[in-house]
Amino acid sequence: MNIWLKGRDMIAVGIDLGGTKIEAQVFDADWAPLDARRVPTPLTYDALIDDITALVDWAQSFADHQVSVGIGSAGLVNTKTGTVTAANLPSHGKPFAADVANALGRSVTFLNDSQAMALSEAVFGAGRGYDTMLALVLGTGVSGALVANGLLQHGCTQTLGEFGHIAAPAHLVQAHGLPLVACGCGQIGCVETLLSGAGLMRIAAEVMGEQMSPEALIEKRANDQRARKVWDIWCALAADLIRTLTRTTDPHCIVLGGGLSQIHGIAEDLTRAAQAVQFAGFDMPPILLAQGGDTSGARGAAYHAVMCEARNV
Ligand SMILES: [Zn+2]
């Protein structure tokens, strides 16, 4: 808790925009959630702007002064221009940030959902107390973010964290006869095509010759050697990505998020697999599970808004 926030009558709203729902959370000065409201993601862009405006109006009713508004959105968000690349959102390709700001008549900050989760975990969750934290989100896609001393790291291109679009390691692809498939980003053989939920199913189809959901595969792991092998391959691919990220950013901890991070024992399995590819005599960063649950995205987006206002960004 930052001292300067204490004693100030201020709240913020974080909006978590996903493919199926928009969730708004209102936070008090201690960053405890006061209330939440959730609506289905509409199909049209105009309706999306209207829904967000309505959610901000609702949040505003909690305060007698203007609240900070932060939006965390699925997809690739250009935090400079506010454009969103997300095939499953009506904001795809639109100047979303400018249009929301115009509709609201105030400035709004934007992050992608992985960045919002990362910031929340670094400040309030599993990454608290570590100087630098790398978030690795494993789910429908593979992404993440880097937070140093409570600040999200952004560079020249605004693409830091698009970890899924690093090439899959050739030696593992070759050793296990894995397919090199076209990725949604336009490249071929991105590691996301094997590490996402769909990627795990792709490995299962290749190794077991069967279509099965990640849940079914995980359940089979204990008693089925082929299912165990699929899981081990997936862990080896993830460990290789963790090695790459550690070589380039060397974070003090890695926090796992996303649907696949809920697989039982994943932190332990990835710790083992990552240590196996580290230089002898060197540790890997601790691999931890995100703690924030459903509120992480909204809290991170709201926190970012307040911090940007404080720094006058
Ligand atoms: Zn890609």
177 neighbors 240 (Cβ within 8 angstroms): no
DSSP string of 116-173, one letter each residue: HHHHHHHHHSTTTT-SEEEEEEESSSEEEEEEETTEE---SSS-TT-GGGSBPPHHHH
* Residue 79: predicted pLDDT: 63
Helix (H) or strand (E) holding 270: helix 266-276
74-127 pLDDT tens trace: 888 776 676 888 878 899 989 888 899 999 999 899 899 999 999 999 999 999
Q: Do domains 3-116+293-311 and 128-289 have the same CATH topology?
A: yes
55-83 pLDDT tens trace: 999 999 888 888 999 999 988 877 667 68
The CATH class that applies to domain 3-116+293-311 reads: alpha beta
* Residue 9: predicted pLDDT: 58
Query: What is the 273 CA–ligand 1 centroid distance (Å)?
Result: 23
Query: What is the 141 CA–ligand 1 centroid distance (Å)?
Result: 10
* Residue 10: predicted pLDDT: 57
* Residue 87: predicted pLDDT: 76
Q: Where are the domains of the chain?
A: 3-116+293-311, 128-289
Report the greatest alpha carbon distance in the chain.
62
Query: What is the 166 CA–ligand 1 centroid distance (Å)?
Result: 7
Query: What is the 30 CA–ligand 1 centroid distance (Å)?
Result: 39
The CATH class that applies to domain 128-289 reads: alpha beta
Query: What is the 189 CA–ligand 1 centroid distance (Å)?
Result: 7
261 neighbors 235 (Cβ within 8 angstroms): no
Residues with CB under 5 A from ligand 1 (ion): 165, 183, 185, 187, 190
Write out the two tokens for 153: 């790291």
Residues of the chain with pLDDT under 50: 1-8
Q: How far apart are CA 286 and CA 283, in angstroms?
A: 9
Beta bridge partners of residue 85, listed in sequence order: 76
